[in-house]
Structure 1
């Protein structure tokens, strides 16, 4: 979002500009309306105010600029030469203001259009948001879309962001946060890894396994979260592979390289295809979400409202948070001495 820069000027000049605008605005509006309508009475009807108020505004403007703008008699009102000159100078500015107002009205009442700047985490943005943006653009071709994939918490005003997708927990009370779906986290492995090394049955067993970790934008490793006896417990397992993107972590799991804790939207397809199994479901956290965030519900542009409604409906229809889990825990026959897994 760009900042407005005004030409540098002295404090006295700035004060004069402010006082001049505040004093003359009503007079200019009244003057332009009288000039267009040809009479003070019709101008008053057009503006929805009394004739005397229109007359006072024009008189005050005439006093400010030191020139008579209308010749007024009991029978007619005509514009002076000075008035014609002032009208020609004022009219382009008034037209631009009216055009600006009309454009704002069109943004609110016409079809959605304009630029929409969107921020999303790499994983959710690439897997869920980006494909749906193509469908949104097909429905609303007048809306230009810009998608930025980043893990950091964006600042809406400074970064010029209209919509942000966020994962996990939200504690920013300054934004509107709409939960799209719960964010289900699953510890997963490939069936080959499970056959070879078994699966952890408790949080303490995780240390005995090869783990694939993710590094966050702030440089620290992402915790694995579990809910035990109603309390969230963070785990930082030793990892022999570290990546900074959940899709890369998923690739490592599918390559039989170890365990990872990943959100359901990343795993849904692989779980349905039997390419992954899950474990530790009894202590999986259940208090996270995928959120769609924006600054305010007031005077929401149509392009933002259309995008919010579209994404909410489409993402919920994907049902990414209730995938059918392919957990081997209930059917594993495990040798306590070796923790090797014997499949039926």
Structure 2
């Protein structure tokens, strides 16, 4: 015999007491009358006491049955209340969301729009973890993470939020001194800064609309795993870099950087929200995912910057 209480038997017993009939209780529970009778017999055997005196016309509680009836009903009431509370929580966004995001993207794109999300969902709080390291969602207890680029195969559930383009850029001063490359192969003769967040920072792959592909091994004095760390050297006119649009867009708009190789693109990734596998996603996580998808996609509408003449 199991050490756990027969909660199903107790719930069926409480319903029979409430309905004062095995047949009526069976109908209410969506069970057959024999199934209800077997559950009562199983419970009586476990407790070593008869709970009902049964005749062909009536069902009467024994003394043991009367003692158990109140407690069984309270157990059912408590269980129903617990289920109701959890169902309400699953329907209404509520609680803490632990979200991981790349450092620069989190600072530039996520943090500025979080106040709007928190105002919309006042029962949700966010623990934003910023790092360019790839966090272990399950091992480190995160509800979700934002990932840029291309996702490796994994058991995580991924939702694509929006495109995450990258541009090859340089400062006007650098281009004036060293010339503007017109083909990716010419980058072999330029100073190129490495962005170590890429899957393979030692190789840049380019392709164009005609289907041509070129592989370049960039050489330069600086590499960083954070794109913002390359910006001072870029703005100082010391080299060329291939960086995400969200890092360079302001400098492109201001003319501090210029896009080169406009007809050639490095592999264009996406922004994904990844969550652990298994079970329904909590409403608080779903609400944040929907918000980020709508806001980040909306903020990225428009034409990409063109190469300067």
Instruction: Using structure 2 for the length normalisation, give the TM-score.
Output: 0.83
User: Are 1:84 and 2:67 an aligned pair?
Assistant: yes
User: Aligned partners of 1:164 and 1:233: how far apart in 2?
Assistant: 32
Superposed, 1:161-200 pairs within 5 Å as: 161-172=142-153, 174-200=155-181
User: Are 1:210 and 2:191 an aligned pair?
Assistant: yes
Report if aligned partners of 2:169, 2:242 keep a CA contact under 8 Å in 1: yes
User: Are 1:262 and 2:243 an aligned pair?
Assistant: yes
Report if aligned partners of 1:35, 1:79 keep a CA contact under 8 Å in 2: no
User: Aligned partners of 1:170 and 1:232: how far apart in 2?
Assistant: 22
User: Aligned partners of 1:222 and 1:302: how far apart in 2?
Assistant: 41
Residue 289 of structure 2 is matched in structure 1 by 308
User: Aligned partners of 1:307 and 1:300: how far apart in 2?
Assistant: 11
Range with greater deviation from structure 2 (191-200 or 273-282)? 191-200
Range with greater deviation from structure 2 (181-190 or 94-103)? 94-103
Q: Which runs of 5+ in 1 are unaligned?
A: 1-14, 332-344
Residue 61 of structure 1 is matched in structure 2 by 43
Report if aligned partners of 2:161, 2:293 keep a CA contact under 8 Å in 1: yes
3-state DSSP of counterpart to 2:263: helix
User: Aligned partners of 1:313 and 1:99: how far apart in 2?
Assistant: 35
Superposed, 1:122-133 pairs within 5 Å as: 122-133=103-114
Alpha-carbon RMSD across the aligned residues, in angstroms, is 3.2
Q: What per-residue deviation string (whole Å, max 9, x for no partner) do you get for residues 145-199 of structure 1? A: 1222233444443333332222112242634433333222211122232233333
Report if aligned partners of 1:265, 1:321 keep a CA contact under 8 Å in 2: no
Residue 97 of structure 1 is matched in structure 2 by 79
Q: Which runs of 5+ in 2 are unaligned?
A: none
Distance 1:301 1:147, change over 3 A: same
Matching residue within 206, 223, 247 for 1:226: 206
User: Aligned partners of 1:172 and 1:77: how far apart in 2?
Assistant: 63
Q: What per-residue deviation string (whole Å, max 9, x for no partner) do you get for residues 82-132 of structure 1? A: 6525853x56654553343223311333x2112222222223222212222
Instruction: Using structure 1 for the length normalisation, give the TM-score.
Output: 0.76
Residue 70 of structure 1 is matched in structure 2 by 52
Report if aligned partners of 1:176, 1:294 keep a CA contact under 8 Å in 2: yes
Distance 1:35 1:309, change over 3 A: same
User: Aligned partners of 1:151 and 1:234: how far apart in 2?
Assistant: 25
